[in-house]
Copies of this chain bind each other. A is one copy, B any other.
Amino acid sequence: MCFLFYLLVRGLRVGADCIVEFCVDRFMEKAESGSVNGSANVLSLDAVRDTLIRLEDTIVFSLIERAKYPINSAMYNESAGLVAGHHGSFIKFFVKRTEALHAQAGRYGSEEENAFFPGSLSCSLVSSRPSTNVLHPVAKIVNLNKDIWDMYINQLLPLITAGGDDGNYALAAAADLACLQAISRRIHYGKFVAEVKFLDDSPEYTRLIRARVCITS
């Protein structure tokens, strides 16, 4: 389990600066409008804590699934030329195309979802439901996925997989994507944690935000 804690701690550290920026932006907007997001009060610290635990279970499950395949290093090689007509690595081809499909299916309409390649997304083909957003709109610009991607591919993956290449690139890439999405969802859930903590003690967090104090726990 040590790598999971390493991962989460590192993820939170990577995110610390961005979360502070988000808090500052959020506070400024609130100060201008004189109100918080109307639906934010559906959050509670207990609900957020339950969600965090469930998200960590998902990370553990997905890492176990990925560990069933060897590292298959060729998948991550930008110049391996594994996919006909596609420049770049197999894993980028797989993740970009999957995210484009998931965008068509409306995945990124959820506040909990952040794409790894937001510039490659298709428009949603699914009619939107009435919004139940609880975060301030500026939260959407906080996206740490580039750091998560680099950490997962370069540091975490070699720790959880055996060496070798079994040629099961599509299956291994699907397992990689499940890991990346689970880690991303958990780390970005920090935005909900920030929101619920802010609402729980607005005067104190307002003071900390004004002082630009970095809070990582």
Contact = CB atoms under 8 A, between A and B. Distances in A.
Contact of A84 (B83, B127, B174): B127
Interface in A81-116: 82-86, 90, 93-94, 97-98, 101-102, 104-107, 110, 113
Contacts of A57: 64
Contacts of A125: 83-86
A217 to B, nearest CB: 25
A207 interface: no
B61 A126 contact: no
A82 B124 CA distance: 11
Contacts of A192: none
Given A61-B61, A106-B169, 10 more contacts: A61-B64, A82-B126, A83-B126, A94-B101, A98-B101, A102-B174, A107-B170, A110-B168, A110-B171, A129-B167
Given A64-B61, A65-B61, A105 B110 contact: no
Contact of A101 (B101, B113, B132): B101
Contacts of A107: 170-171, 174
A44 interface: no
Contact of A94 (B84, B94, B105, B129): B105
Nearest to A55: B68
A49 interface: no
A160 interface: no
B61 A106 contact: no
A188 to B, nearest CB: 14
Nearest to A94: B105
